[in-house]
């Protein structure tokens, strides 16, 4: 599956925002991150509530990247960053706390706001 057109530049821009923060010891790495546009995925029950989804090195988008707000990509890249440091604890936290009150969600929202 091909990366979204413009993925490299968009990831670099989102990384530049996150690099201003010191949430984790190492900066986010984007060399292996892939950005995929998968509108059909977001019609499935689990994904319906989301516009973007991060799973380790993958960022999945409902809309074409060209129509995706930079804040959303930055939010999802923050989740990639979290998983680079906490590859199990972070995703498992959603089972423990659910989505709405998840601390990694709150952290990703704060990261977007702090770098806007």
- Pick between residue 3 and residue 107 the one whose CB is nearest to Zn ion: 107
Say how many residues touch Zn ion, by CB under 5 A: 2
- Pick between residue 5 and residue 110 the one whose CB is nearest to Zn ion: 110
- Pick between residue 108 and residue 111 the one whose CB is nearest to Zn ion: 108
CB within 8 Å of 49: residues ≥ 6 apart: 99
- Nearest CA to 18 out of 73, 57, 74 is that of 74
Question: Which 47-106 positions form the footprint of Zn ion (CB under 5 A)?
Answer: 105
CB of 50 to Zn ion, least distance (A): 8
**Residue tagged 């029950």 (tokens):** 45
DSSP character string of 19-76: TT--SSSSPPP-TT-EEEE-TTGGGSTTTTT-SEEEETTEEEESS-GGGS-HHHHHHH
CB of 6 to Zn ion, least distance (A): 21
Q: Which stretch binds Zn ion (CB under 5 A): 8-16, 33-41, 85-93, 107-115?
A: 107-115
Chain contacts with Zn ion (rule: CB under 5 A): 105, 108
């Amino acid at each position: 599956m091909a990366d979204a057109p413009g993925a490299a530049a968009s990831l670099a821009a989102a990384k530049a925002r996150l690099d201003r923060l010191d949430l984790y010891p190492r900066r986010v790495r984007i060399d292996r991150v892939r950005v995929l546009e998968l509108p059909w995925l977001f019609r499935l029950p689990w994904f319906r509530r989301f516009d973007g989804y991060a799973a380790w090195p993958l960022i999945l988008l409902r809309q074409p990247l060209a129509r995706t707000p930079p804040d959303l990509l930055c939010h999802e890249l923050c989740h990639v960053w979290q998983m680079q440091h906490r590859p199990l604890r972070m995703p498992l936290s959603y089972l423990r706390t659910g989505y709405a009150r998840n601390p990694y969600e709150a952290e990703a929202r704060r990261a977007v706001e702090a770098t806007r």
